[in-house]
Amino acid sequence: MTAKRILIADDHPLFHEALKGVVGEIFPDDCQYLCTVNVSETLRALDQRDFDLILLDLNLPGAEGFSCLVSVRKRQPSVPVVIVSSTDDVMIVRESFSYGAMGYLPKSSSQQVMENAIRLVISGSIYIPTEALGSFGGLAVGAQETGGSRAPRALKDNGGMAALTPRQLAVLALLAEGKANKIIAYELGISEITVKAHVSAILRKLGVSNRLQAVLVCRDMAGKS
């Protein structure tokens, strides 16, 4: 098995070790780490090799706003990026996703939360910290009603969701919670293949190309309702 290549971009060496410990619980004895401490080192590393996961501090020396995140996404657009930041401002969290982040972890998060978040991102889902969920258009974040037959009211009542079936709305709501296909299948009592078919239909009907865009579009629509 090929070792996972992990880039940790943070200007605090102690946090390099902390993140190695988190990732090491997910991929024990199967990781190659490269740690950088500023923007120029980070971008140079991305130009020299490919990575499987990028853990990025927004406030690296040399960064202005989201400039480093934008540059990272341009260099390796298919690699999942998780922001790990001391900032937990909900607007910054939201903007991070609009610039292509797949996860956002406040540095105050527990190790277990970090592990769960990184697992979700690696599986192709997104992770949004609980305290920021309410800023994404008011989309309901609780579990579906018994049996998973009804979608959250914020989605169901919105005219922009008219093209989606009730089951697709239920799948979309669980996508918004960052849940992987296997978990969605379990919670809705359907097969994983059926979940994938629903996701494909959702992307097509919303005119987007990936799960993150679908979630963001729906949260914007819900916010306008």
81 and 146 belong to one structural domain: no
Q: Among 134, 150, 171, where does a domain finish?
A: 134
Residue 164 pLDDT > 70? yes
Dihedral, CA atoms, 151, 109, 181, 20, nearest 10 degrees? 170
Q: What is the DSSP letter of 6?
A: E
- Write down the residue that tokens 């729906």 correspond to: 218
Q: How many domains does the chain have?
A: 2
What is the average per-residue pLDDT within 106-114?
90
Burial (CB < 10 A; 0-12, 13-18, 19+), residue 8, is buried
pLDDT band at 221 (very low <50, low <70, confident <90, very high): low
The boundaries of the domain holding residue 177 are 137-224
CATH number for 47: 3.40.50.2300
Q: What is the pLDDT of residue 155?
A: 39
Range with the lowest mean pLDDT among 139-148, 150-159, 174-183, 195-204? 139-148
Q: What is the pLDDT of residue 105?
A: 92
Residue 222 pLDDT > 60? no
Range with the lowest mean pLDDT among 65-74, 142-151, 180-189, 198-207? 142-151
Specify the pTM.
0.63
170 and 113 belong to one structural domain: no
Tokens linked to 194:
């059926």
- Rounded to a whole number, what is the largest CA-CA distance in the chain? 51
Q: Among 118, 134, 150, where does a domain finish?
A: 134
CATH number for 160: 1.10.10.10
